[in-house]
Amino acid sequence: MKSYKIVEKLLSRLQYKSGPAEQDRMKTPIDEAWRRYEAERMTSSMPRAFDWIFGVRPVKWIAVMIIVLIGLVVSIEILDQSTGPAYALEQTVEAVKNIRYFHFRNLDPRQNVDKEAWVEYDRNGRLKQVRVDFLRLDSVMVWSKGATQYLKAEPNELCLFEDMEHTDKILSFATSHDPRNAVEYLRTREAQGAVRIEIGEPSERSGLIPVNVTYEPNTYLIGAPAPQMRDVLHIDPVTKLVSYINVHVKDKDLWRDAGVWEYLDYNQPFDPNIFDLEKEMGKDTTRFSTLGLDLGMEQGDMSDREIAVKVADEFLAAWKSKDYDRAVQIHGYITRANRDNVLQLLNTSDLLKIVEIGEAFPAEKPLRGYCLRCTLTLRQDGTTRQSIWEIHVRRITPTRWRIGKVSPLKE
Amino acid sequence: MLEDRILIRQAKRGERRAFDRIYEKYRDTLLTVAMNLLADPELARDVVQDVFVKFIESLDGFELRGRLRGYLATCVANRARDRLRQMARGGRVEPDRREPLHIQPLDLAVQNEQLDRLAKALAGLPYEQREIIALKVHGGMSFRAIARRQGIRLGTVQSRYRYGLDQLRTQLNGKVEP
């Protein structure tokens, strides 16, 4: 049996790799196939009537003449528009006002987190649903109807959960890249002197209008800590919408490329299925839902600080009495791995005595909620010792709180 | 797997970058499958090239069921079999049975004597066994997936694999080291 494994292992090492010359040779017919594919895509998007007209010989030249005439009229119209008043950012503010759907992509050479996102608003302009594909991480997150769906490849699992912190993160992500807020934000910050806006001449090649926006340190988008940044917005001269944004960051007096935001579609309604990841589950994907499980504890009339202490107290009491089901339920979790990690902690450490539960103090950013320092006597690996642990408690829904993290403080 | 679904969706929208990522991700794996089936670098390159060209041509209606790597590896295996049939009809024999391996300029990623002997031993196996081994080991497919894709019984797939490994072990004359 062992020798089979050895042969298999050896076989797996029997791999061939192509050199640059072979890669070039292989690429040529593939490039041609791609060009044909692109051309077919363009052709198939033309109206069928066009093919029909050209398929009938007697009317072929008449049709050509009609099309040439239409082309001339349209060109004159466009020329007319292009000699109109100079571009102003307000035109973009106006153009994005009624956007209900936008689809964009962020490629950042510095990080491994390229993202593509679809954002939909309701008729009142409130965020309705968001989908973010983390392109290199093999995972997708959808926020819809108040709950989050998280599909990932490793482990192959679809998690469904309701968690305010995740909701806030995804909403903040969508809001900060919402073209409506982004452009208005620029105007506000310009008035405050935090950003400098310079409108350039349209590019000869693309016709797009470049708008250079230079941000002073810590003023970038939502005002999070940031070095000096520069965005170049490329504005479509006809629609006045942003086509893409090149992002640059100042590093030792040099502007470095920090990625690109491409706005792929505006106001193209999305297929509703893209917001339902259950429809994208593979045959081997497991579903892990905590919806409706009432994890954590209800806040009731307690203040935030009081509920934080209560959650920590109840969790430790359940741990000490070895009521692991209750302890895990109070602790809360999102993925199967989260739950297993909590269970492992509880199973490998006997909580013998709760010596002291400290006061709740606000957690340091980026964490939210409160932390408590607790003195505990534990038996681990046959050794009994007293140590200080930090318990982080946070809000999970508007009315419920759970534990975010339990960890021993480094001595 | 999820990344592949995303890339396919983007490629269908005409995004060349997405197709390039698929190509770069699987090119060498497919070359390995093809080389282990055909033992001829020219043929292996042609087959992989054909598979990618066909993949582009069918992209519009393409729906991924299972893993892309397994799907493409199966395409390579089917195409390789067609090539061998064409060559047999045209009077050429399978290259692997009579001719020595030419692994230049397609190089083994890790070159050593043991792997070279293994490559030769693999080339000496009946095609059906080589195919199952290549799909399983280099295509990353399960026996069940191979049986489904190739339309053969699960038991047949498993026995071909086992016989293939048996013969490799024998041909390597017990000189296999982990």
Instruction: Give ipTM to 2 decimals.
Output: 0.78
Q: Which of A12, A18, A23, A112 to mutate to test the interface with B (most CBs of B within 10 A)?
A: A18
Chain B: give the shortest CA distance to residue A44, in Å: 11
The pLDDT of residue A48: 37
H/E element, A119 = strand A115-121
Backbone angles phi, psi at A36, to 5 degrees: -60, -40
**Closest by Cβ to A16, choosing from B10, B14, B106:** B106
Rounded distance, CA A296 to CA B29, Å?
A: 47
Closest CA to A226 of A199, A250, A198: A250
Q: Is the pLDDT of residue A61 over 60?
A: no
- Return the pLDDT at B177: 42
Contact B87/A at CB under 8 A: no
Instruction: Report yes or no on whether pTM surpasses 0.90.
Output: no
Domains in chain A: boundaries: 3-82, 89-289, 297-408
Interface probe for A, chosen from B56, B79, B158 (most Cβ of A below 10 Å), is B56
Burial per residue of B79-112, b for 16 or more beta-carbon CB atoms within 10 angstroms, e otherwise: bbbebbeebeeeeeebbbeeeebebeebebeeee
Instruction: Please name the CATH architecture into which domain A297-408 falls.
Output: Roll (3.10)
Between these two residues, B31 and A83, which has the higher pLDDT value? Answer: B31
Q: Does the beta-carbon distance from A15 to B114 stay under 8 Å?
A: no
Q: Hey, are the CB atoms on A15 and B108 less than 8 Å from each other?
A: yes
Chain B interface mutation, best of A12, A15, A274, highest count of B Cβ atoms under 10 Å:
A15
Does the CB of B108 have a partner CB in chain A at under 8 Å?
yes
> pLDDT digits over A269-282, tens only?
888 889 999 988 88
So what's the pLDDT on residue B2?
Answer: 67
| A392 or A39, higher pLDDT | A392
Q: What is the pLDDT of residues B125-170, one digit of tens each?
A: 888 888 999 999 988 888 888 888 888 888 888 888 998 888 888 8
Contact A10 B176 (CB under 8 A): yes
Mean pLDDT value across chain A: 80
pLDDT of residue A58 exceeding 60, the answer is no
Average pLDDT of A99-106?
A: 86
For the cut 50, the answer to whether the pLDDT of residue A82 exceeds it is: no
pLDDT, tens only, B69-110: 889 999 999 888 888 777 766 544 443 333 333 333 344 444
Q: Judge whether A305 and A370 are in contact, CB under 8 Å.
A: yes
Contacts of B35 in chain A (CB under 8 A): 16
CA atoms within 13 A on the CB side of A367: 14
Report the CATH architecture of A89-289. Clam (2.50)
Query: In Å, how far from its chain's centre is CA A224?
Result: 17
The residue among A110, A104, A107 whose CA lies nearest residue A256 is: A110
For residue A352, what pLDDT band results from cuts at 50, 70 and 90? very high
Q: Is A305 on the interface with B (CB under 8 A)?
A: no
Distance from CA of A197 to the nearest CA of B (A): 32
Is the pLDDT score of A155 beyond 80?
Answer: yes
By CA distance, what is A31's nearest residue in B? B53
Nearest Cα residue in chain A from B134: A11
